[in-house]
Amino acid sequence: MRLNKKAKKFCLLSGSFLLTAGLLTACNSEAEDDEWQHAHISGPTDSGWYPLSTLFSDIWLDELEEADVTVVEGAAIGNIREVNTGVDVQTGFAFVSDFVDGINGEGGFEGEPQENVKALGAFYPTFWNIAVLEDSPYESLEDVVEYGADVIPGNPGDASVQTFHRIFEAMGYDEEDLEEAGVAIDYGGYGDAANQMRDGIIDLTIQGGGPYVPGLTEIDATQSVELLSIPDEVLDELEEQEYGYTTDLEIPADSYSAQTEDVPTVVTWAMMIVHEDMDDDVVYELTKAIWENVDRVEEEQPTRGEWFDPEFAYGEIDDPEENIHPGALRYYEEVGATD
């Protein structure tokens, strides 16, 4: 199916996510009549989302002759806000838990429901790695509170920060309780947090991986990394709160050198979001191109690609008939993923 040349055109820009109205106007003025364009917002260049987004961009450029797509940097919760506006980007990566918060106006979106965001589909589970060094005194999450750990859970607004606080809230400790217990919370990206933990400046970081985190495996090559498990009763509380987490998956043994057993943790699925006003045919073709080239994903991103399945893509979205974009929903119905 060739896309209608009159489909809405979307500007795309490369580089860091510092987009301006002037650049946007210039981009639109140079667009070819037979192209549709859009910008896709990913994660930082050192995140797992960035290479996967680049792969999706390559697939779209190869498969859809009207496509003109570029990846820009972003971050989990912020991506939802940016796609919701539809001004600079029209597709992006997010976490299912953040998507649930966004559409309900909860969590990081308290009182600000993101009404213009729809799902294209869920792709793979992101396992939250709660990491310390093996020789640290922290053997459990309760130890983090008892001994007052120094923590970098991510940058403000990151899904990792919200997940960190929700885990401890499920244990009975809000942010004030943690401060009173001597838990020192600072902020920084994955790379900065990993470097500071390696150098002994902080004690703990929480980072998402599929299931392991590349930055933590680099530390593990010289200093063994240990993962703290989430107790069953805390997982049950997180499930009861309906945050959009998956609570029945574990980080497999041997993901790190000191890890001899599977580690219970919370998981949130990585997904793609789109602006609801994107043309149905455009979203249909974007969706179809991904799933008809899933072999490329499995080859180039094997730890993530092994999870790619249209039934997961549909079924891991909260209220899929309502929250999946009609163009993507049409594809899932055609391949029987909605049965």
Q: How far apart are CA 39 and CA 85, in angstroms?
A: 13
Which residue would you say has higher pLDDT here, 4 or 317? 317
**What's the pLDDT score for residue 8?**
32
Which of 268, 285, 301 finishes a domain?
Answer: 268
Which 8-state DSSP code applies to residue 92? Answer: E
Measure the CA angle with vertex 335, ends 333 and 339; round to 5°. 55
Q: Which of 248, 268, 288 is the last residue of a domain?
A: 268
Inside any domain, residue 6: no
Is 10 contained in some domain? Answer: no
13 within domain boundaries: no
In a domain, 11, yes or no: no
* Tally of structural domains, the chain: 2
Residues 328 and 117: their CA atoms lie apart, in Å, by 13
pLDDT tops 60 at residue 29: no
Q: Catalogue the long-range contacts made by 326-329 (C-beta closer than 8 Å, 24 or more residues apart).
A: 326/280, 326/283, 327/278, 327/279, 327/280, 327/281, 327/282, 327/283, 327/284, 327/285, 327/286, 327/287, 328/118, 328/119, 328/120, 328/121, 328/274, 328/283, 328/284, 328/286, 328/287
26/135 same-domain check: no
Confidence tier at 36 by pLDDT (50, 70, 90): low
Is residue 233 included in any domain, yes or no? yes
Whether residues 220 and 156 fall in one domain: yes
* Confidence band, pLDDT 50/70/90 cuts, at residue 3: very low
State which residues form the domain around 103: 21-125+270-334
Single out the residue in 219, 246, 268 at which a domain terminates: 268
Does one domain contain both 162 and 252?
Answer: yes
More confident residue, 328 or 5: 328
Strand pairing report for 184-185 and 263-264? unpaired
Q: 149 and 35, same structural domain?
A: no
DSSP string of 44-70? -TTSSHHHHHHHHHHHHHHH-TTEEEE
192 and 97 in one domain?
A: no
Check whether residue 140 and residue 237 sit in a common domain: yes
Can you tell me the mean pLDDT for 294-323? Answer: 95
Number of Cβ atoms within 10 Å of the Cβ of 106: 15
Considering the domain architecture, whether residues 307 and 263 belong to the same structural domain is answered as: no
Name the band, by pLDDT with cuts 50, 70 and 90, for residue 23: very low
Answer whether residue 166 is part of any domain.
yes
Q: What is the per-residue pLDDT for 214? A: 84
CA distance 254 to 220: 11
88, 52: one domain: yes
Whole-angstrom distance, CA of residue 41 vs CA of residue 44:
10
Question: Is 180 found in the same domain as 258?
Answer: yes
Residue 2 belongs to some domain of the structure: no
> Same domain, yes or no, for 133 and 183?
yes
Distance CA 281, CA 7 (A): 8
Query: What percent of the chain has pLDDT above 90?
Result: 72
Q: Which residue has the higher pLDDT, 143 or 43?
A: 143
Q: What is the mean pLDDT of the chain?
A: 87
Question: What is the CB neighbour count within 10 angstroms for residue 137?
Answer: 10
> Are 231 and 253 a contacting pair, CB within 8 Å?
no
Lowest mean pLDDT among 23-32, 171-180, 258-267, 310-319: 23-32
Q: What is the pLDDT of residues 169-192, one digit of tens each?
A: 999 999 999 999 999 999 998 889
**What are the residues facing 126 on neighbouring strands?**
268
Give pLDDT, residue 260: 93
**The pLDDT of residue 44 is above 80:** no
- Nearest C-alpha neighbor of 45 from the set 19, 20, 15: 15
CATH of the domain at 169: 3.40.190.10
pLDDT tier for residue 268 given thresholds of 50, 70 and 90: very high
Is residue 324, in this structure, part of any structural domain at all? yes
Is 60 exceeded by the pLDDT of residue 51? yes
